[in-house]
Amino acid sequence: FESRLMTVNDMAAETLDGVRVTLRANIEKPDEIALVKQYRAAGVGLYRTEFLFLSSTKVPTEEQQYVAYREIVAGLAPDPVTIRTLDVGGDKPLPGDPGLIGPEANPFLGFRAIRMCLENPVMFKDQLRAILRASAHGKVEIMYPMISGPEELDRANALLDEAKAELKQRGQAFDAKVRVGTMIEIPSAAIAGDVLAEHSDFFSIGTNDLIQYLLAIDRGNSRIAHLYDPTHPAVVRTLKQIVDTGHARGLKVSVCGEMAGDALYAPLLLGLGVDELSLTPTLVPSVRYLIRAMKMSDAKKLAAEALKQKDAKKTYAMVEAFYNDRM
């Protein structure tokens, strides 16, 4: 099976009816560049920058971050690398917590990701300057995690403007036109997507958190794991709403949650109109294989049926049959 998938490794992720799909990779560390290249991903759609912060009890300096980001950006140039700002807290506690988060009764509803960064602007701007400096060595996009509404997005963008001004003052190079996207992974961001779109260059849907928060299911709790269902009608409808809202304002909409790397769900996402998938590098071959075995017109029909379906089990059965007929 594995070797059959690899027969298409060097071929475009193009459907039988001629639609090309961009497949990018999710990575966490510079040494994963080799995997991105091996599986012919078109750059990185989600670089989780937590690694440097989780591997030490000290917050990394701007310089340390710049060196790590530059290695990835330069190593993959001219392909783009979407660098996500720090997303700690919740399922990613900081080791030894250097006073940033502290114990919380509800870490998943707590002081995590962009919320924590906005309250620590010195640390956040160190990261933003490091990312901006890396943008001088290739193609960089910036993306904010866990945005819940326009106020957070505006505050993050204001700090980004400050970071740019500081680099100008220092005479350090960066891409002045760097694109800035918003992760849609909190239900409020999905519902108020039109407002966020006004100040975003693109959307990237984090289905892991989005499903967790939509269905109120802790994704790490095995007793309720069976309720974590990507085919739940609320999930399918919400995905459609995000895609339509982004497209109505001319934004590219990608998916970087695990759903994008599951060949079972990729046709549903593409049929809903998602422009780009970002997935674990080793999963690229299976999604590429399936895309080459399907028609986009059939994926659109699948999505239209899923949107009408009231029973998640029936939606799952449809999605599974679509997959089995082609793999």
Residues that bind Mg ion (CB under 5 A): 185, 206, 209
Q: List the single partner that 288 binds among Mg ion, ligand PEP, none, CB under 5 to 8 Å by kind.
A: none
Q: Name which of 146, 41, 142, 127 is nearest 83 in CA terms.
A: 142
By a kind-dependent CB cut-off of 5 to 8 A, residue 64 interacts, out of ligand PEP, Mg ion, none, with: none
In our burial notation (b when 16+ CB lie closer than 10 A, e otherwise), range 171-181 reads eeebbeebbbb
117 is catalytic: no
The verdict on whether residue 48 carries a ligand-binding annotation is yes
Q: 275, 260, 257, 279: which is closest to 44 by C-alpha?
A: 279
Q: Which is nearer to ligand PEP, 46 or 287 (CB)?
A: 46
Known binder of ligand: residue 208? yes
Q: According to the binding rule CB under 6 A, does residue 257 interact with ligand PEP?
A: yes
Q: Which residues pair with 14 in a beta bridge?
A: 20
Assess contact for 199 and 153: CB atoms under 8 A.
Answer: yes
With CB under 5 to 8 Å by kind, the binding choice for 238 among Mg ion, ligand PEP, none is: none
Please report how many Cα atoms fall inside a 13 Å half-sphere around the Cα of residue 83, on the Cβ side.
30
Answer yes or no: is 209 a known binding residue.
yes
Residue among 205, 197, 210, 108 nearest 153 (CA): 197
Closest distance of CB 114 from ligand PEP, Å: 12
Q: Candidates 35-43, 59-67, 123-131, 203-211 — which segment interacts with ligand PEP by CB under 6 A?
A: 203-211
Q: Give the one entry of Mg ion, ligand PEP, none that residue 157 binds, where binding means its C-beta sits below a cut-off of 5 to 8 angstroms depending on kind.
A: none
Q: Flag whether 84 is marked binding.
A: yes
- Beta strands 202-205 and 44-48: pairing type? unpaired
Q: How many Cβ atoms sit within 10 Å of the Cβ of residue 62?
A: 17
Query: How far lies 243's CA from each of 226, 276, 323, in Å?
Result: 26, 11, 22
Pick 27 or 303: Cβ nearer Mg ion: 27
Q: Which of 147, 190, 253, 256 is catalytic?
A: 256
Determine the Cα–Cα distance for residues 130 and 70; give it in Å rounded to an integer: 9
Confirm or reject binding of residue 116 to ligand PEP (CB under 6 A): no
Which lies closer to Mg ion via its Cβ, residue 47 or residue 322? 47
Q: How far apart are CA 52 and CA 92, in angstroms?
A: 12
- Of 206, 230, 246, 285, the residue at the interface with ligand PEP (CB under 6 A) is 206
Q: Which residues are annotated as a binding site?
A: 48, 84, 185, 208-209, 219
Q: By the criterion CB under 6 A, which residues form the site for ligand PEP?
A: 46, 48, 87, 185, 206-209, 256-257
Q: Which residues are annotated as a binding site for Mg(2+)?
A: 185, 209
Q: Which residues are catalytic?
A: 256
